[in-house]
A and B are shown apart, each in its own frame.
Chain A
Amino acid sequence: MRGIVKRFPGVVANDHVDLKICRGEVLAILGENGAGKTTLMNVLYGLYLPDEGEIHIKGRKVLHRSPRDAIENGVGMVHQHFTLVDDLTVAENIVLGAEKFKVFYDLEKLAKEIDEFMKTIGLYVDPLKKAYELSAGEKQKVEILKALYRRVEVLILDEPTSVLSPIEVRELFKTIRNLKSRGISVVFISHKLDEVMEIADRIVVMRAGKVVGELAGHEATKQLLATLMIGSRAVNIEEKFGKHVRPAGKLLEVVDLWVKGDRGEDSLKAVNLVVRKGEIVGVAGVAGSGQRELAEAIYGLRPAWRGRILLEGKDITRSPTAERIKMGVSLIPEDRLRYGVAAELPVYENIYLEKVHLEGRKSLLDRIGLRVLDKKGMVDYAKKVVEKFSVKTPSVFTNAGKLSGGNIQRLIVGRELERKPLLVIAGEPTAGLDIAATNFVRKMIVEMSEAGAGVLLISSDLQEVLELSDKVVILCNGEVMGVFRPGELSMEEVGLMMSCAKRMSKEEVERAWGT
């Protein structure tokens, strides 16, 4: 790729980027949020047309107007967010868009073909399962299979590890090495320095749309990479978050909670949980183990069909979300594409959002919802949040849809933390954030707990959970497998619990909650 320029309204996402991908190598692209990694790859994959620049493959100049062109030229991509059609089977997802199959098809026969194909590759997922039934790891395998089915020679993986458990990450790396040995080049995009250093042959660092450094995998050190990524700003990448408060009385108590998932299955089974004031309780588990449902149930977005949820001793199992917000519950939603912002509304209204519930209701008009909004107050408050959480936006009157993903994330975190909640449910609060922002959010969360709030930290980043939490709960398949303090168990044991292979006894769990 030569001299690639891609502009979006207000930003230059790629600014004359040159990039070379060699046969059979693992090339890592590293960079902060909004550095332009995804954009560059989308250009290569034909999703975006570059404003300037050229792409050459095997010495031939090519034009990628759509992914179809890219695939023809041997480029495949696995996106940050999975792009599977939920209602189709694995086999159908794999052949979708491929030229090879006939006008009419028979699912059974197709499945058999795909079955064989998977065996030759060495990656296996049941071809007749529908995509929505798959775990995150399986979905990723299907994504890779999709690309390989089209005989790609370059495979782009955009932040592939962010949704995987440690075991799944290890498996993925095995696959990547396997691909490499078959002569396929892999482009690996990530924020995570450890991973990059483990897998990459060559590392390209991007900052603000430009390539700012390139080094061989073995030359890299964390400090070096971080400096390249963030620039001259001083960073401490291994910031520790010591805590100085003792957890006090019970804030949140979840008793025997049963919750249904989107397709009517039991996604939480008999879950018990306690969060004390000033305590951070981490929830870890493989993606899809019930973390999202747990957060939604506590916040009131998902009904509990059995069990109770108590906040400061008060039963809130049936309270509507608005009631819980008033009582001081706050949620940083995991799915920020869906729950993030109202794109057509200005930043200041997006920040104000739930504060609607926190205003006093004096007159009758207030009570029937005709309260007149205090626009000046809203704007001032928004300015404060924007500044404190360094949300990059032209002004608070800009439509929220215009912000970059990372900045939307900051906006959400700011919105949820600034209103001084009693209980913070933080769903993947740092996913997709760069180091500086990650550190900032972690610090804020710790500060909240030091100020006496309880935090339920849900994260697929096991390191993060172990580092920040006072207590850790492991979920597998909707059930609590174990509860412990960080450091009490080995990584080995944690890994086993995350894959439902080990389970603590009732007494052990109760003892852990008691302390």
Chain B
Amino acid sequence: MSLERIVSSILSLGVTLSTPLAIAGIGEVISERAGVIDLGIDGIMLLGAFIGFHVSLQTGNTYLGYLAGVGVGVLMGLILAVLSVYLKLNQAITGMGLYFLGFGLSDFFYRTIYGEKEVYLPPPTPLSVPVLANIPVIGPSLFQQLDMVYFMYALVPLAWLLINRTKLGLWIRSVGENPKAADAMGVNVSMIQTVSVLVGAGLAGLAGAFLSIGITQVFYENLTYGIGFIAIGLVYFGKWSPVRTFAGALLFGLSWSVAISTQSYFNAIGRPDLVYFLLALPYLIITLALVIVSRQARGPKWLGRPYIRE
């Protein structure tokens, strides 16, 4: 076993795990830049994972599965938008409601529909990027990957462009910073916030669908295992920038794959109980990173507050 191969494998797994994190995290960036915090990400991902799995299995088409994941995400986002953007309910509390709903419904649907038999989707084939895949170490781990990994690569600059270089992005930023000012200038605050929430929730649904279709090929209760909340944490770590959020997702994914890959060592030295410290490592790292970064973090000024005109 060569070092090169080990490093390459750790990288590859890290990138794979960070993909759903980054996609959901960037979605969260977009909705938070517009001032709406979506705490229901994990629930949306769960429902996206189930619906994506279901549709992909029934139609035999992976992409229809992803699309369905996006669709159900948008639907969940619509609930959040109606309750918190239009009816001005507390965003954090509404978001938690979405989480509970997604958590319960996804498994309930799954068991009702697939109660009898565990079913797998066929394994996906990684796509390899011509030339780049041949670079030693990073080639295979970064450029011989699943479709959604490439989607993530594209999403990072696209989200950056959307936020920083487009009219919609200007509106999104202004609505998150000072909705009153935006409103006074004729920007439709509720509409922009709704659009951002829907985009964010759609991405979360997609991230969930990738989890079941791309990674596990099977659905199981609570498939996300809290990844959605980590994604929200990454937004803070990433200071509301899609690029840094992506970096945070990589950090988490990599620290997890390092932790898993070093387990054998602790077993070998006769301290298997320490395995649980290793498993805690990614969470520790992300907490520490948050603490270090948060000193200068400053989110959209109106984040989490409903904008009420009168």
Contact = CB atoms under 8 A, between A and B. Distances in A.
A and B touching (Cβ–Cβ under 8 A): yes
Given A48-B310, A86-B178, A96-B187, A101 B173 contact: no
Contact of A84 (B165, B166, B181, B310): B181
A396 B181 CA distance: 33
Given A101-B167, A103-B166, A104-B165, A87 B186 contact: no
B107 interface: no
B267 interface: no
B182 interface: yes
A79 interface: yes
B185 interface: yes
Interface string B167-200: 1101101100110111111111000000000000
Contact of A96 (B165, B170, B309): B170
A121 to B, nearest CB: 17
A74 interface: no
A68 interface: yes
Nearest to A87: B177
Contact of B165 (A93, A95, A105, A146): A105
B166 A105 contact: yes
Interface size band for B: 20 to 34
A48 B171 CA distance: 22
B301 interface: yes
Contact of A71 (B161, B181, B186, B188): B186
Interface in B145-178: 161, 165-168, 170-171, 173-174, 177-178
Contact of A146 (B183, B185, B310): B185
A424 interface: no
A405 interface: no
B183 A67 contact: yes
Contacts of A77: 184
Given A84-B178, A104-B165, A105-B165, A97 B173 contact: no
Interface string A40-53: 00000101100000
B178 A97 contact: no
- The A interface, classified by DSSP as helix, strand, loop or mixed, is loop
A47 B178 contact: no
B303 to A, nearest CB: 13
B188 A96 contact: no
A159 interface: no
A345 interface: no
B170, B171, B174, B185 interface centre (most CB from chain A within 10 Å) = B185
Nearest to B174: A85
B170 to A, nearest CB: 6
Given A84-B178, A88-B177, A102 B183 contact: no
A293 interface: no
Interface in A68-94: 68, 70-71, 77, 79, 82-88, 92-93
Contact of B174 (A67, A96, A105): A96
A113 to B, nearest CB: 14
A103 B168 contact: yes
A96 B171 contact: yes
A47 B184 CA distance: 8
A68 B173 contact: no
10 contacts: A48-B310, A66-B183, A66-B188, A67-B183, A84-B181, A86-B177, A88-B170, A88-B173, A96-B181, A96-B185
